[in-house]
Amino acid sequence: MRKKIVLVLSILLFLIGCGDTHTSEANNSSNLPIENGNLKVHFIDVKQADATLFSFISEDENYAVLFDTGDWQGVEVVPYLQEQNISHLDLVIISHPDADHIGQLTDVIENIQVDEVWMSGNESTSQTYLDAMEAILDQDITYQEPRTGEEYTIGPLDIEILYPETISGKSNEESVSIRLDYDEVSFVLTGDAGKQEELEMIESTESLDSTVLHLGHHGSDTSSDADFVREVNPELAIYSADQNNSYGHPSEEVIRLLNNKDIEWYGTDVNGTIIVETDGQEYSVQMERSHDNSKSECVNINESTIEDLQEIVHIGSSRAEQMVDERPFESLQELDVIEGIGPSRIADIEEQGIICSL
């Protein structure tokens, strides 16, 4: 019998007292044992593309959800699922129809039993998209276009739709974005949604607070707005990108923001496939390749060189020299002693997010 994906009405959740979102209290535990009843989240190395597998296995039942399916030129996803003994997917979520997100959906459908597929509803003229839609129809797979605020339950996994509320043909921006909870540990994935859409998620969602943030748009600076990252408040951030990609992903600006906020981060370009395993309380991180993730350091205004200080917005060579003369600073507000730096520019500097915590 098929497991059913249940849409939970917000009013019902309110009435039975289960609608409140929770704040994660998970801690990174490198010694978490691998055992039944754990959720394993696989951020699969699919080069310059996205594919994330949520796999829950217990003695009584198994559940599997796949978020995006890699690039159309790749062949990694089905073999990886088979290596993990995944023969059935309760749900496949396609954030948007770009070929680096929907790319291997047809292969997945042809080789793995799929119960249901979600998409934003934005369409594409690409053959990759057309083949995928034909495969969904041929296999008589349930198809749905979820919208902001809807909540679903798949076994022990709760999924809240963060975006989109409506669609207008903007493929990247209107990516299906979700928060998936397993007890006290939660994950936010936003496809290629941009900063404006992230701000809309803040406005439309009671709480974004989550344990793990999958960085939008492969770590590009078109995503990961500082306010959004603050609202998600992740302990861990992960991005999917190819080594030496031509797009400059991940962005130096985004990595500095993470470093400045002391958020641990990993990327498939340097770490390969990344697996976060959790019992719902604690979590562990396993990597295909270990790497010193220090691509970009924050700027210490009390120690950095004049050259490094000029990476700060509004700070040129003369202001950098004055900063050195005025050290030490105990807060960003004290930068108002620098000629031409007032409250509005201090706000810009704070928003840039590259200065080390004081």
**CATH number of residue 134's parent domain:** 3.60.15.10
Q: Do 269 and 339 reside in the same domain of the chain?
A: no
Please report whether residue 296 resides in a domain: no
Domain identity same for 176 and 209: yes
Residue 77 lies in a domain: yes
171-225 residue pLDDT tens: 999 999 999 999 999 999 999 999 999 999 999 999 999 999 999 999 999 999 9
pTM for the predicted model, two decimal places: 0.76
Are 35 and 97 in the same domain?
Answer: yes
**Which of the listed residues 237, 256, 287 is the one where a domain comes to its end?**
287
**Low-confidence stretches of the chain (pLDDT beneath 70):** 1-36, 291-297, 357-358
Number of domains in the chain: 2
266 and 311 together in one domain? no
Strand 264-267 to strand 157-163: parallel, antiparallel, or no bridges (unpaired)? Answer: unpaired
CA 164 to centroid of chain Cα atoms:
15
- The answer to whether residues 193 and 327 belong to one domain is no
Cα–Cα distance measured from residue 349 to residue 343, given in angstroms and rounded to the nearest whole number: 10
Burial class (CB in 10 A: 0-12, 13-18, 19+), 344: exposed
Helix (H) or strand (E) run with residue 199 in it: helix 195-204
**CA–CA separation, 209 vs 211, rounded Å?**
7
The residues, ordered by sequence, that sit 6+ positions from 164 with a Cβ below 8 Å of its Cβ are: 120, 147, 148, 174, 175, 176, 177, 197
244 and 123 in a common domain: yes
Q: Which two tokens stand for residue 140?
A: 């008589």
User: Is residue 330 packed enough to be buried (19+ CB in 10 Å), middle (13-18) or exposed (0-12)?
Assistant: exposed
Looking at the structure, tell me whether residues 258 and 338 fall in a common domain.
no
**Domain assignment of residue 323, given as a range:** 306-352
Helix (H) or strand (E) holding 153: strand 151-154
Task: State what percent of residues in the chain have pLDDT above 70.
Answer: 87
Residues 250 and 312 in one domain: no
Does 141 reside within a domain? Answer: yes
SS3 content of the chain, % helix, strand, coil (to 5): 25, 20, 50
Bridge partners (DSSP) listed for residue 28: 283
- Among residues 287, 316, 341, the one where a domain terminates is 287
Provide the pLDDT for residue 293: 61
- Decide: 118 and 92 in contact? Cβ < 8 Å: yes
